[in-house]
Amino acid sequence: MSASDKLTVLQVIPSLEAGGAERATVDISVALIKAGHEAIVVSKGGYLQAELQAKHARHIRHDVASKNLFRMLFNAFFLAYIIIKEEVDVIHARSRAPAWSALWASRMTGIPFITTFHAAYKGSFFLKKWYNSVMTKSDRIIAISEFIARHIKKNYGVNASRITVIPRGIDMGVYDAASISDERKQKLLNSWNNKAGVPVMIMPGRLSPIKGHELVLDALSTLKQHPFICVFIGPDQGRSKYSERLRGLVEEYGLKDKIMWMDGGDVPAAYSLAQLVLSPSQVAEGFGRVPVEAQAMGVPVIATALGATDETIMDGQTGWLVPPGDAQALSNAILKCLLLSADERAVMSKRAKDYVHGKFQLQHMCAATLQVYAEIVK
């Protein structure tokens, strides 16, 4: 089948809430529609569902997230029914529980099956590793970074010929400082009560212990004599005890006037106001959108030297990598950024934008994924 032939692609994912896999699901659906193909997504829904359907992709609401064996088997028959009814050409799973159902549905119907490895799944225990291994049982495996590709080969013995590395891409039109209006910026500044032009650093990401908020507060507690505000941007997703702990640390460290909170909102505008972006995850992320988004906006970023960050950040040139759990190293990097001269900041900003524009364009990710679809149905 040539790349120009019409395809019907069924993507399966637990939900369409916040997250990299969910964002990629919508992005690929939109790319399929633009290319004249048909895109169907099965999930239990979420706030991205409206965007998906506004772009004329189809959404079928169904809970495919269950790890109950009988429910997974039921879901396999449900997906097989959809495959036959809608004449699906490719089924693409982005999470483990749905992948098992998708695998069985693929075997029932004989249609090609693709998985995307979005994370370095943990688990040395036999049953856990077997459960994770479903992501390697597809006809083609997409790895979102070289780090993930190495993880797959090392832990599952997969031949490199079955793995296609497709780095995540972002919409550079959304993450473009020039596109952010003064009104959007002022609205945020007012909400932060930052009328004095104090340097701003932001930390986008859900409130979770693995994201490194406590480490950031520890690091900032040694920099209180410097002017700054730090904005934590992200929901607690029900982790109210963790949120309360963070607020308690803010009080304990005497940072009450320097820490602001946002559940979400206009993140691109927040990037445009920031002098620094923090992404100190304490676990290895498969890719990590935040460093790329920050650099697209020309903002230096500090991230943990784990996972794929050495692929997304040029250490010392577009940002800084620090060891995990090292509050002093993080503090030193923050201070280094705050003390950059205007010329040094301008050079770093241009280098960051050039770097991510060359490597992480949304169009490149979508084109490469659609090419995999075309190849797999030949």
CA dist., res. 192 & res. 92, Å (int): 42
Judged by DSSP in three states, 307 sits in coil
Pairing of strands 319-322, 140-143: unpaired
Report the sign of the C-alpha dihedral through residues 296, 326, 18, 149, in that order: positive
Is-contact 15 40, C-beta < 8 A?
Answer: no
Instruction: Please list, residue by residue across 236-274, b when 16 or more beta carbons sit within 10 angstroms of its beta carbon and e when fewer do.
Output: beeeeebbeebeebbeebebeebbbebeeebbbbbbbbb
Is-contact 217 225, C-beta < 8 A?
Answer: no
Tokens of 4: 């120009």
CA atoms within 13 A of residue 47's CA, in its CB half-sphere: 4
Which secondary-structure segment (H or E) carries 177?
A: none
pLDDT value for 3: 46
DSSP conformation class of 50: H
Distance of CA 331 to the CA centre of its chain: 25
Parts of the chain with a pLDDT under 50:
1-3
pLDDT value for 195: 61
12-38 confidence digits (pLDDT tens): 999 998 778 999 999 999 999 999 999
- Residue 155's CB is within 10 A of a number of other CB atoms, namely 17
Burial class for 202, CB neighbours closer than 10 Å (0-12, 13-18, 19+):
buried
pLDDT value for 357: 95
- Read off φ and ψ for residue 212, nearest 5 degrees: 95, 20
Task: State the Cα torsion 75-77-81-87 to the nearest 10°.
Answer: 90
**Domain segments of the chain as ranges:** 8-169+361-376, 177-359
Give the list of residues 6+ apart from residue 214 with CB closer than 8 angstroms, or none.
245, 246, 249
Output the pTM of the full model: 0.90
pLDDT value for 14: 94
- In CATH terms, the superfamily for domain 8-169+361-376 is Glycogen Phosphorylase B; (3.40.50.2000)
DSSP conformation class of 96: H
Beta bridge partners of 341: none
pLDDT value for 238: 75
Answer whether 8-169+361-376 and 177-359 agree in fold.
Answer: yes
Helix ranges, 221-361 (H): 240-252, 267-273, 289-296, 309-312, 327-338, 342-359
CA dist., res. 265 & res. 164, Å (int): 34
pLDDT value for 20: 84
CATH class of 177-359: alpha beta
pLDDT value for 1: 44
pLDDT value for 128: 86
pLDDT value for 206: 85
Amino acid residing at 111: I
Is-contact 202 302, C-beta < 8 A?
Answer: no
Is-contact 366 167, C-beta < 8 A?
Answer: no
Is-contact 366 27, C-beta < 8 A?
Answer: yes
Report the sign of the C-alpha dihedral through residues 314, 316, 317, 318, in that order: positive
